[in-house]
Structure 1
């Protein structure tokens, strides 16, 4: 696969997002309105669906735009399919930039064979010669060379990308998998699990107790391992905002597919917790640790989704959230608790705010195919916004279709920042 590698010395989801921006080609940012500046047009990609079917026969007069609730008639309409403008309405000779840049980002610690099918679909049915594409693995970003699609077969490029992705997922997820195993061992040891265990599990439990660790020491070790896991999962709001700001300068249509696998955290079996609470009911230190680490432990979102989704919408990124379902593994002596509740809502909101979709499935290839199809065709509307006041503010955009009796679904970005 013809790729250009860039080294990234950061960890976590937000670090990878910054990595995308670092390999993206830069251009002049889209024009905005502001005090003392000429009023310019605002472009709004709009997708209209009748059920799952894209509606491609709408006219300029069928659309109405509301900016901050104020009705505005659009100035022009371009119907874009793929990269081709198939129909245009409105005065002037405005020629929109229909170039396409795709970003595929993966946040998973285990390789899923269905990801290979998703990559096959990318090269066989999505990418066209002239498109730009950046792959972001858990370890680093890779930019597809501009001539790769014209000089190499789709099967060759797909195979090369699959090999890179599989290798980087296995390497990048190594520390996370190690911490998961450590939390599993500690959960078994703290719970006193032994009867009925395999020889291998008994050796794991004995390795903890043979070090002379008491119950409080094991709690502390579990707490430290848990904090290490949390640091690997950190979503940094400042880096998300910086990513959106950098990517805003990329010209044309920008589409990001974020593949995220459901996570599980090993902890003590609920029955073992109740047993220990009964045994140590007179020991407030033990009871406090049991409650803090297991019964009351809860993830809190580490970023302001309201702020971040506005930045993504302003940047003109279509963000598709591919949530990879996976069933909890049955682990002897430990309970696998789902722990995606701090990440899922925020990225779901970003997808909705950018005109993207959230796909939830055990088959990421099918999810990717649906998401890519949903953003293939669109109307590009332009309109002249009301004059803005001093300073910057976020202006909401709502697009409606005036077709009596039609129950269409209209999808567009949430708005933009007026400067």
Structure 2
């Protein structure tokens, strides 16, 4: 091997060694830097916990939307600014980050420290709890369809028989006049069919109460010595070809009808809560208008019932039957109104409860008492919790007009609660306005879920 070639081989080997040493140094430097990072930049367990909590809070942050309506007298106040509102959650002050003035479906004004995207799509629920169709209901529907309902709105109609939905797309495809006529027909037909049993029960109870009152007052009499003899006071039954009932049979029949009426008008708490849950999951603004016809139950005057007890002291069965009637009259409301209030607060709706009044019938020995305690307590709580409207009148069109005027203009307030824990508990919201002599109604709370 020549000297030249030998020197060349030595040089090549030296270069390889240098390269290998360089690679080794680079690897040493890399691992040194990695070790340095692990030693000096590795977060502690506490730091990891804080970072994880921050990430979770950022990903599940709750933005609370609070519809607020402010009135001076009956006039909506529409010139309020973000700084005019004060919001507390469970008594703790919250920072209002945005306020939007909404009129019908339009955002008229906005003031934002942080941007939100309010949904102003309107979902209307018209609920008719009535036992007879009145001509003035036509006026109410006429006003609602022609003056209130707009393209893009959704309408849900609930009658004594069925529920219907008119979607925004269906409404845009049909003239309003045709929609109006169809709604009138549905409400009229469903009221006649759906409330037929209710009206029949009330009519028979009225006749029985009148008959029993006439008997004890001496206007009708029984043959001496027989309390089971027929009474000839049930003209409506005789005209129908039925044999007149005895006193025992009339009393038992009255109790039976009380039970049937109780089943028909029973308010199911589970249905209330399911409706609230359905509303909560619906996007947009939700307006519930319940038109409820006041109920008058024909009750036998207690004085007459006590007279029967005196007359038939030797009949424990009659005493027991009459005592059962008194128990029906004194029946308490079994609804958990606070639970219902919280559920409808959480659903973020605007609910309005309108009593349609009808004249009472005055009959000797018969009391026509209002039977609305259970319904009123539940819906009054729903309306109060959602910032809604409660009123009564014999004119349903006037009631609906007032309710809509009270609800179509409002503010939407947004805040991020200081308590970000999702513990499932109910949080109470209170809104104040820095103005004197105003009435503030608003959503009263939500569940932190």
TM-score by length of 1: 0.84
The 2-side partners of 1:212 and 1:129 are apart by 59
- Calculate the aligned-residue CA RMSD, in Å: 2.6
Q: Is the 8 A contact 1:236 1:302 kept in 2?
A: no
The 2-side partners of 1:201 and 1:85 are apart by 66
Can you list the C-alpha shifts for 1:198-241, whole angstroms capped at 9, x where unaligned? xx964336689985855344332222211111111011111211
2:329 match: secondary structure: coil
**Worse-matched range after superposition: 201-210 or 91-100:** 201-210
**2:86 is the alignment partner of 1:88:** no
Which of 65, 72, 78 aligns to 1:50? It is 72
Q: 1:254 maps to what in 2?
A: 286
* 1:201 to 1:381, Cα distance in 2 relative to 1, 3 A: same
Q: 2:148 maps to what in 1?
A: 126
The 1-side partners of 2:383 and 2:279 are apart by 16
Q: 2:34 maps to what in 1?
A: none
**Worse-matched range after superposition: 140-149 or 53-62:** 140-149
Q: Is the 8 A contact 2:361 2:368 kept in 1?
A: yes
The 2-side partners of 1:37 and 1:110 are apart by 53
Q: Is the 8 A contact 1:255 1:318 kept in 2?
A: yes
Displacement of 1:291 in angstroms is: 3.6
Structure 1 residues 385-396: aligned runs within 5 Å: 385-389=417-421, 391-396=423-428
Q: Is the 8 A contact 2:304 2:365 kept in 1?
A: no
**2:190 is the alignment partner of 1:168:** yes
Q: Is the 8 A contact 1:318 1:355 kept in 2?
A: yes
Q: 1:418 maps to what in 2?
A: 448
Can you list the C-alpha shifts for 1:34-82, whole angstroms capped at 9, x where unaligned? 9895323111111111111111111101111010011112000111111
Displacement of 1:263 in angstroms is: 0.5
Displacement of 1:312 in angstroms is: 0.7
Paired residues, what number? 382
Which runs of 4 or more aligned residues in structure 1 lie more than 6 Å from their structure 2 counterparts after TM superposition? 207-210
Q: Is the 8 A contact 1:291 1:297 kept in 2?
A: no
2:414 match: secondary structure: strand
Q: 1:304 maps to what in 2?
A: 336
* 1:38 to 1:275, Cα distance in 2 relative to 1, 3 A: closer
Q: Is the 8 A contact 2:238 2:244 kept in 1?
A: no
The 2-side partners of 1:229 and 1:297 are apart by 12
The 2-side partners of 1:36 and 1:301 are apart by 44
Unaligned stretches of 5+ in structure 1?
Answer: 1-33
* 1:253 to 1:390, Cα distance in 2 relative to 1, 3 A: closer
Answer with 1 or 2: which has the greater Rg: 2
* 1:79 to 1:212, Cα distance in 2 relative to 1, 3 A: closer
Structure 1 residues 229-378: aligned runs within 5 Å: 229-270=261-302, 272-294=304-326, 297-331=329-363, 334-378=366-410
Which of 429, 437, 441 aligns to 1:407? It is 437
The 2-side partners of 1:225 and 1:396 are apart by 43
The 2-side partners of 1:390 and 1:44 are apart by 18
1:116 match: secondary structure: helix
TM-score by length of 2: 0.79
Q: Is the 8 A contact 1:188 1:205 kept in 2?
A: no
The 2-side partners of 1:63 and 1:97 are apart by 21
The 2-side partners of 1:59 and 1:48 are apart by 12
**2:143 is the alignment partner of 1:111:** no
Which structure is higher in RCO with an 8 Å CA cutoff and minimum separation 6? Answer: 1
The 2-side partners of 1:158 and 1:299 are apart by 41
Q: Is the 8 A contact 2:354 2:399 kept in 1?
A: yes
* 1:195 to 1:215, Cα distance in 2 relative to 1, 3 A: closer
Which of 168, 188, 193 aligns to 2:210? It is 188
Q: 1:64 maps to what in 2?
A: 86
Q: 1:8 maps to what in 2?
A: none
Q: Is the 8 A contact 1:330 1:336 kept in 2?
A: yes
Displacement of 1:160 in angstroms is: 1.9
Structure 1 residues 149-164: aligned runs within 5 Å: 149-164=171-186
2:168 match: secondary structure: coil
Q: Is the 8 A contact 1:101 1:255 kept in 2?
A: yes
Can you list the C-alpha shifts for 1:263-322, whole angstroms capped at 9, x where unaligned? 111232455334323322444432343243148722322421110111011011111001
More helix per residue: 1 or 2?
A: 2
Q: Is the 8 A contact 1:99 1:253 kept in 2?
A: yes
Which of 10, 32, 40 aligns to 2:62? It is 40
The 1-side partners of 2:237 and 2:197 are apart by 21
The 2-side partners of 1:278 and 1:393 are apart by 55
The 2-side partners of 1:150 and 1:61 are apart by 40
The 2-side partners of 1:389 and 1:340 are apart by 40
**Worse-matched range after superposition: 98-107 or 110-119:** 110-119
